Structure 1
Amino acid sequence: MLPLFDLSLQFNGYPIQEAKAELQKITAFTISEKERFIESKKKEIVAFHLNNNPFYQELVGTKSFNNWTELPILNKQNLQKPLTERLSNGFSIKNVYVNKTSGSSGDPFVFARDKFSHALFWASTAFRFGWYGVDLNTSYQARFYGIPMDFMGYQKERIKDFLGKRFRLPIFDLSDPVLEKFLRHFKTKKFDYINGYTSSIVLFAKFLQQKNIILIDVCPSLKACMVTSEMLFEEDKKLLEKQLGIPIINEYGASELDIIAFQNPEGEWQVNAETLFVEILDENGTVLPYGKKGRIVITSLFNKAHPFIRYDIGDIGILDKKSTVHKPILKQLIGRTNDVAILPSGKKAPGLTFYYITKSIIEDDGNVKEFTIKQTTIDTFIIKYVSDIVLSQPQIKKIEEAITLYLEPNLKFSFIQKDTLKRNKRGKLKQFKSMV
């Protein structure tokens, strides 16, 4: 079979074979070789941008540096200027890969990768998917994603799906009749794996649970399910494993960077130390030791078109104490830095705290399919939920008691039943939002 995916990348000027060879070389390094490689790539990428990128020169304020930790932290607000003002010398819109972030953090922007760096992005993805017997050239993907609704954007995505051996299941409408159609596709097509947004696949699994169907029974060709872009809760993972009947692999990535962490076959959330360098920093920008919670800051080691050096991605996480430079392990991804609720007492609580508490109570009977939480004022929250039956007063009281116990008393909640929840234009579900 022709490797259509690789050929399409090569045809568009992305040197995928060279990128695969580079990645193979990196993954074959000994521990000490890998550590030396990372240190040399860090110095090399900074030196390149200090000499060739006026935007980065201005940010740093000097053309040389002595200490890595003295380099400024790049944030998304820094990047909200025209892309042409951020590209390195020798690069233009015509000779780079250009895309935009989803804006799920509230700060969308357009970014670029040079052609080798973009090929390396796909080589890195292919390498990790390969841990589970998935080949991007030959394996057939069931894709739970959004799709552009304008004519050109729609056609472009469909062509990319064809070349990438993907069958797209658009997730803007996830009502039961639509999920029934999804199920029919699994009954008639030989999918090798599932890939897509966590919340959508979880909703499909709940639909399967209601119908008492295990997906592998109707689609025995399935090998694995990769969930991405949204938090995967432990209870949801158990549900997916049970209803899909295949390994559930947790992916954490960013469109502007690469896969950041990918669950390896040993069940660890292994950080990408081949194309990225990941640090955990405190609020003052100090590097934290393994095991401590802080801001996730990432350096793209290969992207020469656009600097992503000590880039604060907007997430909070913990690197496991057993991490090494050669093999970092992400112990926990806690959420986004902007998803924090400030309470009347002055206490700051990650929005996911509400989500965990509420989820553990209202999902016991399987009635509530999805919900979101919005903080409208310092003491007021709106919980919108999709369910067959309206929440009862005892259920609401139980949620309020749990929130008082875990957070603080006298917070006000209103519960609104909806037929569907609004997703962003890419199909992501923003689970907590603070207007304060």
Structure 2
Amino acid sequence: MIGIDSDLDDVFTVADSNVYVETVVNNEVGKNWNQVGPLVITGLNNVGMPFIRYLLEDVGMLEMKNGKECLHVLKGRANDYLILPNAQKIHCTILSSIVDSLNQGLLVILSYQFVQISLSCIKVKFFVPSLGERDRAKLCESFINAATQNGIKNIKFDFTFTSDYINNTGETKLRYFKSLL
């Protein structure tokens, strides 16, 4: 057991008699307090087959609250959440909803892909064969405005346009979104 549920969503009080929890920040493993990073655990009680600095596929943040170590789990193994610079998480389907709203009436974006490369940057790839440069710039501006209205703030969107259909293959449930965090 890693933690005990608290009254807050996705916040656990670390079971520090059972595990030692660390995060990876800037390639350094440790007690990186109040910083978001992949979680690493060391089991303290399993003698037969111990986990020593086992890298989980979860992303979280450690903090002290009332003298207790707390863990905010920001992204689980489902890999379907955007994590904003303020550690807020938003389900990535909002990105698809924004594309749907931009496509209302006119199907412009024929395929798309989003890759979150850091807490402050998302790469966006659109297949829009019928748009010129000016219309592409307007599309980017409209996307950013819609993202901001939907709570996605302080994120840089790095847009790329392709003349080929984007084949979204991969192991994630939602193939149009990938997180590299």
Task: Give the TM-score, by structure 2 length.
Answer: 0.49
Greater relative contact order: 1 or 2 (C-alpha under 8 angstroms, separation 6 or more)? Answer: 2
Whichever of the two has the greater Rg, that structure is 1
Greater fraction of residues in helix: 1
